[in-house]
């Protein structure tokens, strides 16, 4: 008997990918948190507060680097999918050059215009003169690591795209280990102060880049710097691909700058600034849960949306929301309970500890809501609802938190600003629920109520045949159902039998020859659907990669007596596409109803 995990291809694809995404997001954040703990413990709250206030500057660097990175990744993936290697190389080259220019600009600004950089972060020398010197010294040590930060962001997606995920993971671990070692060496041996902390961070970043660069020493790598097919038209496509990420990060930066200014105005002590910095550090770490699940959902939602698979889209969205809620509620509860212990790790100052416990508990309460809003935005990006993504993004990341920080800050000083994160998320979700009540004319209870899909999307119930295939008996059963489905939708008897043959051949091959990951039993998500004068077959499995299109191209010149079924499918189907994502195979076969009739008539 097959257990639930073996029966659910989505769960098998989603969970391992989400864990990898969460881990890769967390490694750099963990290093920053350890930086904060060591700085606070050994150099004092003033030094830690100064470093925490530099967060907006780091985010600005990541904003532009991520903009190039994600935009280049999207465009390059399209070129790779079409087999246009020279075009892909040109996009890669443009992304690298763009990254170099960004890194050079920030290094020059940090060295020659440091006060401007600090002013951008929302810090004025008149407000907190005791923190200004710390910030200048840290920036001086951090500056030479900026090129490494930018290039790691730009290069990593291309390395992952070329199936070298492990190398990126090793690079992230190297960053953490070397950063921790460098911080401890600085405070215990070198005594380099806050400048030394910046140098240690920069050194770790260069080591991370060095590990990434190992990829480019291999002869079999797909991406090489090449000027072939290099045109500036790639810039337009990169800008378009990275625009949504730019908007989201820009909103976050504006929020942090505004919150910095409000906190500096209302904070009654440096302890309050330090406590807010701790809250920001931990929030960044735990935000990786929602971010990792959201990034996984983004790709999978795009996949199902592109196939107009409403049921599949509903399953993956519901699974991601449930997974997020289970994890974040559990983690949030632990965080709330152990807040005093966590605060004590940072500092022994009673005033800072008291404020930190309050800030951590506020964050713990808001964590499930925070993850849900991130997942919802990534989902909406996956279904290409850009307008709603941008509205939600600025509401969630800028307008609501800044408004709450100002209102609660005026009323309750720094504690009000710390509570504003949770209060703001709660207000956003309440506003969203009210909007959906009006839009759907019903109270949104289930995850699917938040999916913003039209009734026409994916066709009606009668236009979709969805099932799971695990045995050859299932293959035979679904093959018979395929004939009935096609006949009911006006497909000719001959073409209906051909579609049944497609099911038998392609699904049968998976059941017979598929090699599932982690020794699970073979399970195929099967869908037959009719839409816009076409009928489509979708087969998804969590087995080792097998591209039937590439296999057909290699074998079609060989013995014609072999692989007759695959040959027939390839030659008669109007359109066949193969996609390999998240260690799973997806085969899409499309047949035109009109052409089917013409084919039979001509025959």
In CATH, what number is assigned to the domain containing residue 486?
A: 3.30.565.10
- Average confidence (pLDDT) over 355-368: 87
Domain membership of residue 294 (yes or no) is yes
Residue 485 and residue 383 in one domain? no
Residue 374 and residue 498 in one domain? no
**Both tokens assigned to 593:** 């109803």
Look at residue 602 and tell me whether its pLDDT is greater than 50: no
Given phi > 0 = left and psi -120 to 50 = alpha, else beta, which region is 579? beta
Domain count for the chain: 3
Residue 515 and residue 373 in one domain? no
Q: Which residues are within 8 A (CB) of 288 and not within 5 positions of it... i.e. 6 or more apart?
A: 22, 25, 26, 29
pLDDT band at 325 (very low <50, low <70, confident <90, very high): very high
pLDDT band at 83 (very low <50, low <70, confident <90, very high): low
Residue 353 burial by Cβ neighbours in a 10 Å radius (0-12, 13-18, 19+): buried
pLDDT of 2 reads 34
**564-597 pLDDT tens trace:** 666 667 666 777 777 766 667 878 787 766 544 4
Residue 253 and residue 298 in one domain? no
Residue 62 and residue 202 in one domain? yes
Stronger pLDDT, 53 or 487, i.e. the higher one: 487
Integer Rg of the chain from CA:
27
- Average confidence (pLDDT) over 533-562: 72
State which residues form the domain around 498.
Answer: 462-602
* pTM reported for the whole predicted model: 0.71
Q: Are 35 and 179 in contact (CB under 8 A)?
A: yes
pLDDT of 200 reads 92
Mean pLDDT, all residues of the chain: 79
The last residue of one of the domains, among 458, 480, 515, is 458
Domain membership of residue 250 (yes or no) is yes
**530-542 pLDDT tens trace:** 877 778 888 888 8
Look at residue 147 and tell me whether its pLDDT is greater than 90: yes
Strands 534-541 and 464-469: unpaired
Task: Identify any residues that bridge with 584 across adjacent strands, giving them in sequence order.
Answer: 581
The last residue of one of the domains, among 458, 483, 509, is 458
The total number of residues shown for the chain amounts to 603
Measured CA to CA, the distance from residue 101 to residue 79 in angstroms comes to 24
Task: Identify any residues that bridge with 585 across adjacent strands, giving them in sequence order.
Answer: 541, 580
Residue 261 and residue 360 in one domain? no
Domain membership of residue 9 (yes or no) is no
- Helix H or strand E segment including 268: none
Question: Taking CA 297 as the corner, what is the angle to CA 543 and CA 387, rounded to the nearest 5 degrees?
Answer: 145
The last residue of one of the domains, among 395, 427, 458, is 458
Q: Which residues are within 8 A (CB) of 241 and not within 5 positions of it... i.e. 6 or more apart?
A: 70, 71, 72, 73, 74, 75
Domain membership of residue 332 (yes or no) is yes
Residue 259 and residue 272 in one domain? no
Percent of the chain with pLDDT over 70: 80
Look at residue 603 and tell me whether its pLDDT is greater than 60: no
Residue 434 and residue 472 in one domain? no
């Amino acid at each position: 008997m097959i257990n639930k995990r073996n029966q659910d291809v989505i769960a098998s694809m989603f969970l391992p990918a989400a864990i990898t995404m969460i881990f890769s997001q967390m490694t750099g954040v963990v290093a920053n948190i350890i930086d904060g703990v060591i700085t606070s413990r050994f150099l004092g709250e003033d030094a830690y507060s100064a470093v925490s206030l530099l967060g907006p500057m780091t985010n600005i660097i990541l904003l532009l680097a991520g903009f190039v990175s994600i935009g280049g990744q999207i465009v390059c993936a399209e070129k790779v999918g079409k087999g246009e290697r020279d075009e892909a190389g040109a996009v890669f080259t443009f992304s690298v050059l763009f990254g170099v220019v960004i890194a050079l600009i920030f290094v020059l600004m940090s060295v020659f215009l440091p006060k401007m950089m600090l002013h951008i972060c929302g810090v004025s020398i008149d407000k907190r003169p005791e923190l200004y010197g710390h910030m200048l010294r840290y920036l001086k040590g951090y500056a030479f690591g900026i090129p490494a930060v930018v290039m790691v962001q730009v290069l990593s997606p291309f390395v992952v795209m070329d199936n070298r995920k492990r190398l990126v993971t090793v690079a992230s671990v190297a960053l953490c280990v070397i950063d921790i070692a460098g911080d401890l060496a600085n405070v215990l041996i070198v005594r380099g102060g806050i400048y030394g902390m910046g140098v240690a961070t920069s050194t770790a970043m260069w080591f991370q880049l060095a590990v990434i660069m190992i990829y480019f020493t291999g002869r079999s790598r797909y991406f090489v710097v090449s000027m072939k097919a290099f045109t500036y038209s790639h810039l337009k496509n990169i800008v378009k691909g990275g625009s949504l990420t730019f908007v989201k990060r820009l909103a976050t930066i504006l929020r942090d700058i505004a919150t910095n200014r409000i906190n500096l105005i209302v904070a009654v002590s440096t302890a309050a600034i330090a406590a807010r910095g701790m809250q920001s550090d931990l929030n960044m770490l735990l935000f990786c849960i929602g971010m990792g699940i959201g990034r996984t959902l983004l790709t999978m939602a795009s996949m199902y949306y592109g196939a107009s698979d409403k049921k599949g889209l509903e399953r993956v969205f519901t699974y991601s929301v449930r997974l997020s809620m289970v994890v974040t509620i559990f983690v949030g509860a632990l965080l709330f309970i152990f807040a005093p212990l966590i605060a004590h790790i940072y500092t022994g100052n009673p005033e800072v500890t008291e404020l930190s416990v309050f800030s951590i508990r506020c964050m713990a309460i808001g964590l499930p809501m925070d993850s849900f809003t991130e997942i919802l935005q990534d989902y909406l990006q996956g279904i290409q609802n850009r307008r709603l993504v941008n509205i939600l993004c600025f509401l969630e990341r800028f307008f609501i938190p800044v408004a709450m920080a100002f209102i609660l800050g005026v009323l309750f000083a720094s504690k009000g600003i710390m509570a504003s994160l949770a209060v703001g998320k709660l207000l956003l979700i309440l506003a969203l629920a009210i909007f959906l009540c009006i839009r759907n004319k019903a109270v949104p209870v289930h995850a699917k109520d938040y999916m913003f899909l039209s009734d026409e999307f994916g066709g009606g119930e009668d236009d979709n045949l969805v099932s799971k295939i695990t045995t050859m008996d299932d293959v035979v059963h679904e093959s018979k159902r395929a004939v009935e489905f096609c006949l009911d939708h006006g497909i000719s008897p001959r073409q209906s039998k051909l579609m049944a043959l497609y099911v038998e051949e392609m699904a049968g091959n998976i059941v017979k020859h598929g090699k599932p990951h982690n020794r699970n039993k073979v399970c195929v998500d099967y869908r037959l659907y009719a839409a816009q004068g076409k009928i489509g077959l979708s087969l998804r499995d969590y087995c080792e990669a097998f591209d039937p299109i590439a296999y057909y191209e290699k074998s079609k010149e060989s013995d014609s007596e072999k692989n007759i079924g695959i040959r027939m499918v390839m030659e008669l189907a109007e359109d066949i596409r193969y996609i390999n994502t998240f260690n799973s195979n997806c085969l899409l076969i499309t047949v035109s109803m009109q052409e089917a009739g013409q084919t039979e008539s001509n025959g």
